[in-house]
Amino acid sequence: MWKGNCSSEGMIERCILILLSLALIASLGGFFLYVPILPNLTVAAMLAGLCAMFWLGVRVGRRRQDDGISHASSHQGNQLSLS
């Protein structure tokens, strides 16, 4: 089985993929050594919050309209009660 996958083109492709992944990791490492980590963490946290809000919006938007929200009984009206 491995003899069919072990062609010269496949080996060159694997070597290029390995070298490209090493270059990506090295460039990311150099970036994080050159730039302080706190602004990066702040941006990552804000992006995570935006993604979470988008995900929650998609979940709420996919709900059926008849999956209702419980309403107050009609005799209470529209006023909030503190008691």
Q: Is pLDDT larger for residue 36 or for residue 72?
A: 36
pTM here is 0.41
pLDDT digits (tens, 9 = 90+) for 2-56: 666 678 877 888 899 999 999 999 998 888 888 888 888 899 999 999 999 999 9
What is the per-residue pLDDT for 26?
A: 94
Model confidence at 71, pLDDT cuts 50, 70, 90, reads low
d(CA 67, CA 42): 37
Long-range contacts of 31-40 (CB under 8 A, 24+ apart): none
Sign (positive or negative) of CA dihedral 59, 60, 65, 67: positive
Which is higher by pLDDT, 69 or 46?
46
- What is the distance between the alpha carbons of residues 29 and 76, in angstroms, rounded to a whole number? 61
What is the helix (H) or strand (E) element at residue 76, kind and residue range?
A: none
pLDDT of residue 6: 76
